[in-house]
A and B are shown apart, each in its own frame.
Chain A
Amino acid sequence: MRFLPAGDLAVLAEFDEEISVEVNTRVRALEFLIQQKALTGVVETVPTFRALLVYYDPRAVGYDALCAAITELLPQATTAVLPPSRLVELPCCYDDPELGFDLAPAAERLGLSTAELVRLHSMAEYLVYFIGFTPGLPYMTGMPDRLQIARLDTPRVRVPAGSVGIGGIQCCVYSVESPGGFWVLGRTPLRLYDPDAPEPILLRPGDRVSFRAIDRREYDRIAAQVDARSYRPVIA
């Protein structure tokens, strides 16, 4: 691991240059330890694939002292220290072209039937490497190899929040309406980011995620419950 300065208020602790569950687990374990030990001067932390950005207050701790304190935690930064991860179920409506508008073209591109594509996508379990870019947006791994697909040639200007998409080796759930280049297979009625909710963010780094295929009627029913704030996400 190496430390890279990121201005006067942050330092980047960077692990091996690869995207893997192993490296990301060390990043999240290091973050967990820093929070658990309440390291002096640390303000907040941002885990990503293979690096942890540590914001600090230089009035409380110097750069070298902070790097030394983080280095000391490294040997313990393994999966063993992490608390058990949550399994979050995201209901997803695939079989309505209004919601999963790229399902048929993606199936065709992959040489699969739409039913097979839905089956493969919804039976996998995904791991949230980290949350980033927009509020509540999960960067996940766990996509079946068979579903690897080049991103759209022309990214869409607007993809609705809740859209479940695939591109490259990634599966993505849009947390807010935004531009995007993923093939949208379906949509979840849950809100990954809801600024008006007491807890605006649904997913956390390290969560496992599964998709449960639902029909349009169930989608509408859950969406109404989400609107009424009476829906409780299934979290195990």
Chain B
Amino acid sequence: MIRLLDPGPQTTIQDLGRFGQLRYGIPPSGPVDRLAFVLANRLVGNPDGAAALECTLIGPGFEVDGPGAIAVTGADMPVTVDGREAPGWTTLVLRPGDVVKLGPARVGVRSYIAFSGGLDVPSVMGSRSTYLRGRLGGLEGRALRKEDRLRVFAAPMPRPRRVARRAVPAYGSEPTIRVVLGPQADRFTRAGVGALLGNAYEMLPQSDRMGARLSGERITHSRGHDIISDGIALGAIQVPGDGQPIILLVDRQSTGGYTKVATVCSFDIGRVGQVRPGQSLRFRAVTVDEAHRLLREADAVLETGFREEIA
């Protein structure tokens, strides 16, 4: 059992997401930074999809009443176990009564805390992920509160491992985010698409799990910003009339009537989600074929590179 002493500003339970429900208007949810989430689970010996915590900007404090292991990945939040500093990207073995505290993120936005066995909350429509706006899944469809109690499934104590320093993603600098142009790139002027690909865009504080709101050089439309509403893919860069882009993320609306100039590749969604308000990012266009090659490379890094480097 885990007892929340301090929930942090927005800590939710997520697994890999709820699929097949977009046609009913229900987004997949799941972790914004899938790579960090999966690595946290692997560090504690869980399947990739075990339910874990996503923490935003400031992590939670909690007490455990039994033995078990945790791992903290993603944004660089200082971790202490019973007051002693503890490393991220590493299996941490806990004893009954241990108090774990995460501080404010020094780099990045979202951290993940996986627990050996995985969090035991009911599966709703095939997933334990929390969809906050829909009050669905996770713990009563909401973010965690002080004094919440979470159960974990029984599991053997994992062999402690860590992700090698050089394999830990760098969230600090201005990342270049790969996009595929379209589906409505033809609704923008050449200068508009050029603005998107040629300038840095700043992350705005209104950003959340639904969408990353950006500010920068105006992306100009060639003939209006409204379309006949269609489906919104993960990473769609929607541009309303003000010419400012919004990248739609895991809790996005399923459909919408604004033009979408390009779509962020799935393997770069997590990097978008780690850009702090006030920091910026850049875009680079790739073809669908190139995106699929890069996706296979990203898969390979997770399957081989990381496995070898976990010692």
Contacts and interface: CB of A to CB of B under 8 A. Distances in A.
A183 B301 CA distance: 54
B183 A195 contact: no
B126 to A, nearest CB: 11
Contacts of B235: 7
Contacts of A53: 22, 230-233
B182 interface: yes
Contacts of A62: 292
Contacts of A6: 180, 182-183, 231, 233, 236, 260, 263
A226 to B, nearest CB: 16
A139 B184 CA distance: 22
Interface in B286-311: 288-289, 291-292, 294-296, 299
Contacts of B234: 7, 9-10
B266 interface: yes
A51 interface: yes
A218 B135 CA distance: 28
A7 B299 contact: no
Interface in B219-261: 228-236, 253-256, 260
A9 B236 CA distance: 11
A136 interface: yes
Interface stretch (A38-46, A68-76, A96-104, A147-155): A38-46
Contact of B292 (A4, A63, A132): A63
Contact of A46 (B23, B181, B182): B23
Contacts of B265: 7-8
Contacts of A31: 23
Given A5-B182, A8-B295, A49 B229 contact: yes
B230 A200 contact: no
Given A7-B236, A58-B292, A62-B292, A195 B124 contact: yes
A45 B295 contact: no
Given A132-B253, A137-B25, A195 B233 contact: no
A5 B234 CA distance: 12
Nearest to B134: A135
A135 B228 contact: no
Interface residues of A, number: 46
A204 B135 contact: no
Given A58-B295, A132-B254, A10 B25 contact: no
Interface in B12-67: 19-26
B70 interface: no
B125 interface: yes
A136 B236 contact: no
Given A17-B228, A63-B292, A46 B266 contact: no
A77 interface: no
B253 A4 contact: no
Interface in A132-149: 132-137, 139
A30 interface: no
B22 A8 contact: no
Contact of A133 (B183, B256, B266, B295): B256
Contacts of B135: 195
A216 to B, nearest CB: 27
Binding site of B, secondary structure by majority: helix, strand, loop or mixed? mixed
Contacts of A131: 23-25, 254
A132 B263 contact: no
B150 interface: no
Contacts of A191: none
Contacts of B294: 8
A21 B24 CA distance: 19
B289 A132 contact: no
Contacts of B179: 7
A204 to B, nearest CB: 7
Given A49-B230, A132-B254, A195-B141, A44 B22 contact: yes
Contacts of B94: none
Contacts of B26: 135, 200-201
Contacts of A135: 24-26, 134, 136
B24 A44 contact: no
A5 B263 contact: yes
Contacts of B289: 63
Given A48-B228, A53-B22, 15 more contacts: A7-B266, A9-B234, A10-B263, A44-B22, A53-B233, A131-B23, A134-B134, A134-B253, A135-B25, A135-B134, A136-B25, A195-B135, A195-B141, A200-B136, A201-B25
16 contacts: A4-B182, A7-B179, A8-B263, A8-B291, A8-B295, A12-B230, A12-B233, A49-B230, A50-B228, A55-B22, A59-B295, A136-B24, A137-B25, A193-B134, A195-B124, A195-B134
Interface of B: 19-26, 124-125, 133-136, 141, 179-184, 228-236, 253-256, 260, 263-267, 288-289, 291-292, 294-296, 299
The 10 A-B pairs of least Cβ separation, nearest first, read A53-B231, A132-B255, A7-B263, A46-B231, A4-B183, A6-B233, A8-B291, A10-B233, A201-B24, A135-B25
